[in-house]
Chain A
Amino acid sequence: MARTAKKNPVDMSFSFITAVASFSVIVFIIGILYVLISESSLAIGKFGVIKFVTSTDWDPVKESFGALTNIYGTVVTTIFSLIISIPVAIGIAIFVTEISPNFLKGPIGVAIELLAAIPSIIYGMWGLFTLSPIMSNHVEPFLKKIFGSVPLIGILFQGTPMGIDILTASVILSIMIIPFTASISRDSFDLTPAVVKESAYAIGATKWEVVKNVVIPYSKLGVFGGVVLSLGRAIGETMAVAFVLGNNHRITTSLLDAAATITVTLANEFAEADKDIYLSALFYLALVLFVMSFITLAMAKFFLIRAERKYSR
């Protein structure tokens, strides 16, 4: 086959075209990195790296920019969305693989996939018009009443419940990433060999003990990969949080305060940045986001490949 490829000119040009098309992926990644670095060179020169990521200034008037408030917003919303979504997603995976009757498996799988297919702007708008009022009128006052006076945890629930805050954004993000975590966990659970499970049942284990002691340990690498992948998705999510996070460049300790993530800042300010240094700082933010999400996604991929190798052995 390699020989025919050399002989035939049409074949050579076809293989060349396909090669160029597939190398476009590499070109895009290097291109994005190059363009973002060169566009942000003005801001990199002025603020440096360490100063930029540790400064909480975000002041277009004084032309002083730091990314910390944005990074903080991104990290906090992501962590809280993971805290909500991981148990639910793993619960769904356990239900679909071990508990549900066969006729329900398909429909629930499809429903989860549909949840993943809904565009993020719909989540965002639904969050603004429907979830946010529910949060500010019912959920947040309730949480405040219970946890508000508890030491340490109470700090998280200070301030007036407005519904436009970190908590609402995290809830929406968690709904968005549940499908990713759930479907990868389900696929990993499904790969547990039936023989191993059956031997556990044979020595008298209950269903939960099989899940806890056999299925989860066996598939933890894949599940972990799925969680990290969802983390990568959550870091880069824009529209779902842009509606309900406000755009507040301050570090807040309360979940009931507005904040800003990198993505929200970009969405709100990019098109109206009027000064070169302002635009350059925004490109710098985009660069930070790209590097953060690329590393996270690469890690996720690493775990998923390791998991795949382990199961195929």
Chain B
Amino acid sequence: MTREQKRKIEGSVALFLSTMAAFFGLFWLVFILGDVLIHGIKALNPSLFMNDPVPPGAEGGGLRNAFVGQLLITLCATLIGVPIGVLGGTFLAEYARGRKIARLISVLADIMVSVPSIVIGTFIYALLVRPFGHFSGWAGAAALAIIMIPVVLRTTEDMLSLVPWTLREAAFALGAPYYKVITQVVYRGAATGILTGILLSIARVAGETAPLLFTSFNNSFFSVDMKQPIASLTVTIFQYAMGPYDSWHEQAWAASFVITLFILLLTITGRLIIRLRYK
């Protein structure tokens, strides 16, 4: 065999393996999504959304409490996390632009994005659960908000940095103070990007389970009281999937299907907006 042939064969083998790797990755995606889809759709029915849980064995139970609880916790987390994240990102990209402190906070926020969410759960447990003596929806929302803030902060910073500096100078030239320039010119220019960041951060926290395990805990009854333990889809999935009953497993699949669909839709919407707006 000549040297050229050897090189060609080596190349084809390596490229073939890379192609296989790509299909291996796709294979898992299709496998997992397909599995969730098949099991989930089978178990979907109106009573899942309309009824509260019934004791195992009884007919017609649902997860209404968990759907409502999940929405409430996510909504409250968004209401706390988004303003702090957007304002924080504004500081980094505007008032502290180019300063060392902005660089530091930006790096720390990047690290915070990947800090184990269960650690944040223990932190909130010490701060908001033990002092009050019971688990609460607010504690869950606070844990999710802490996860959300660095995500929103970093995307806001990046999006504001994309707004051309000349645009600000034009506004300064008209005599506008900086806060007016930010709120009326810069935010408008970056609105789509910031919105996308918010969507993606909601997608990120909506599937979180670990930080809710010992903050909002769980509640097998319907409750909208954020001061009390409240059910969430993810914790319910954990509990039901680990439980011994087939009916629980079915409901866990159905809940997984709904939550996966919701998160993937949010993610795809976010990506589409970025693609349409920035490419």
- The chain A residues found within 8 Å of chain B, CB to CB, are 1, 4-5, 7-8, 10-11, 14-15, 17-19, 21-26, 28-29, 31-32, 35-36, 39, 87-92, 94-96, 98-100, 108, 110-115, 117-126, 128-130, 175, 178-179, 182, 206-209, 211-212, 229, 232-233, 235-239, 242-243, 263, 266-267, 270-271, 282-283, 286, 289-290, 293-294, 297-298, 301, 305
Contacts and interface: CB of A to CB of B under 8 A. Distances in A.
A206 B9 CA distance: 10
A100 B26 CA distance: 14
Interface string B88-124: 1111101110000010010111111011111111110
A4 B21 contact: no
B67 interface: no
B11 to A, nearest CB: 4
Contact of B108 (A26, A98, A211): A26
B105 to A, nearest CB: 5
Range, interface on chain B = 35 or more
A91 B21 contact: yes
Given A95-B22, A114-B267, A293 B116 contact: yes
Contacts of B86: 21
Nearest to B233: A121
A239 B212 CA distance: 11
20 contacts: A5-B178, A15-B178, A18-B90, A22-B87, A89-B21, A92-B22, A95-B21, A98-B15, A99-B19, A111-B29, A121-B207, A121-B209, A125-B241, A209-B11, A211-B14, A267-B118, A267-B213, A282-B122, A283-B122, A290-B119
Q: Tell me whether chain B's interface is mostly helix, strand or loop, or mixed.
A: helix
A239 B207 CA distance: 10
A22 B91 contact: yes
Given A19-B91, A99-B15, 5 more contacts: A19-B96, A28-B112, A208-B12, A263-B210, A282-B122
A29 B120 CA distance: 10
Given A24-B149, A118-B260, A286-B118, A11 B178 contact: yes
Interface in B48-83: 83
A288 B33 CA distance: 34
A95 B11 contact: no
B132 interface: no
Given A15-B179, A22-B91, A286-B118, A178 B209 contact: no
B127 interface: yes
Contacts of A270: 121-122, 125, 213-214
Contacts of A89: 21, 25
B194 interface: no
Interface in B1-22: 7-8, 10-12, 14-15, 17-22
B136 interface: no
Contact of B118 (A207, A212, A232, A263): A263
B21 A126 contact: no
A261 to B, nearest CB: 10
A271 B21 contact: no
Contacts of B89: 22
B276 interface: no
Interface string B126-157: 11000000000000000000100110010000
A202 B14 CA distance: 21
A36 B122 contact: yes
Nearest to A180: B114
Contact of A19 (B28, B95, B150, B238): B95
Given A115-B28, A117-B203, A206 B21 contact: no
Closest 3 CB pairs of A and B: A119-B207, A91-B21, A236-B116
A15 B118 contact: no
A14 B177 CA distance: 11
Contacts of B117: 236, 238
Contacts of B209: 119-121, 238-239
A206 B172 CA distance: 55
Contacts of B109: 25
A274 B267 CA distance: 40
B177 A236 contact: no
Contact of A95 (B19, B96, B110): B19
Contact of A286 (B39, B122, B268): B122
A269 to B, nearest CB: 10
Given A88-B21, A125-B252, A208-B15, A113 B271 contact: yes
B264 interface: yes
Contacts of A22: 87-89, 91-92, 96, 102, 105, 153
